[in-house]
């Protein structure tokens, strides 16, 4: 592998470690408000004490992430209707993550007859969720939100876990843009059309549970659907 490829791969593994919240209106854009260092004053154990509106991080009863062996997790046979399609998008370095945001209709998926339009996607390295205690190299979150403001569970996230292996076509296609964002917090690049159907989320079985946002304010009521098949990724062949 070439040196510049190693640098970009390292960038993914280091920059994408930071977590993002899901819906713009609730998102904490300034990562100085919290961090991920165990034992620090702003670390995960203290999130619920930093702000009143973040109390769920400490007292919530349905928090994410969890290990997939948790009793809350169901094993579902098939995924509901998915209707993703290419849409105009941007890629942004938000300091605590790299995210894709679709700016027009990128399609949706359906849970119990309710449509959840796709809004954005981002990565975590290493994975947030674990399977029987094992943490994987990368985790992709596809973020959806229903347009129905009266729903109790407005948000839905689909997730894919990855281990290092062969090249992932979707990630490889984005790397030319991602490499331009190194050390440039808040920079946003217009990518043109990005097709979410290129994300490999096809599986026979899925994990499903009701949880929360994984960063402050840790809001509960998020429907999680996680691919049971752990995929392979390597930015470059």
Report the C-alpha gap between 39 and 110 in whole angstroms: 40
Question: Which SS3 state, helix, strand or coil, does residue 124 take?
Answer: strand
Ordered alpha helix ranges (H), the chain: 3-15, 47-50, 56-59, 169-178
Angle between helical axes of 169-178 and 3-15 (0-180°, round to 10): 90
Q: Are 50 and 216 in contact (CB under 8 A)?
A: yes
Half-sphere exposure of 170 (CA within 13 A, CB side): 20
Quick one: CA dihedral 60, 66, 71, 76, positive or negative? positive
- Catalytic residue of the set 19, 70, 83, 96: 96
* Short-list 123, 112, 174, 100, CA closest to 14: 123
Report the C-alpha gap between 74 and 85 in whole angstroms: 28
97 phi, psi to nearest 5 deg: -170, 170
State yes or no: is 96 an active-site residue. Answer: yes
Neighbours of 39 (CB within 10 A): 8
Q: Classify strands 220-227 and 155-164 as parallel, antiparallel or unpaired.
A: parallel
Q: Which residues are catalytic?
A: 96
């Amino acid at each position: 592998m070439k040196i510049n490829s190693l640098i970009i791969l390292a960038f993914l593994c280091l920059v994408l470690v930071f977590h993002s919240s899901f819906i713009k209106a609730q998102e904490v854009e300034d990562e100085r408000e919290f961090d991920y260092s165990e034992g620090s004053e702003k670390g995960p154990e203290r999130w619920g004490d930093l702000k009143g509106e973040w109390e769920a991080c400490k007292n919530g009863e349905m928090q994410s992430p969890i290990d997939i062996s948790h009793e809350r997790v169901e094993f579902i046979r098939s995924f509901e209707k998915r209707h993703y399609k290419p849409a105009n998008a941007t890629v942004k370095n938000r300091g605590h993550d790299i995210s894709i945001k679709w700016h027009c209709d990128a399609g949706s998926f359906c849970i119990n007859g309710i449509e959840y339009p796709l809004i954005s996607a981002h990565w975590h390295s290493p994975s947030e969720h674990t399977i029987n205690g094992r943490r994987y190299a990368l985790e992709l979150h596809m973020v959806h939100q229903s347009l129905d403001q009266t729903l109790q569970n407005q948000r839905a996230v689909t997730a894919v876990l990855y281990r290092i292996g062969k090249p992932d076509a979707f990630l490889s296609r984005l790397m030319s843009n991602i490499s331009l964002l190194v050390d440039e917090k808040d920079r946003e690049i217009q990518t043109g059309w990005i097709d979410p159907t290129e994300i490999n989320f096809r599986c026979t079985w899925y994990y499903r549970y009701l949880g929360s946002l994984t960063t402050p304010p840790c809001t509960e009521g998020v429907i999680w659907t996680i691919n049971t098949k752990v995929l392979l990724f390597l930015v470059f062949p």
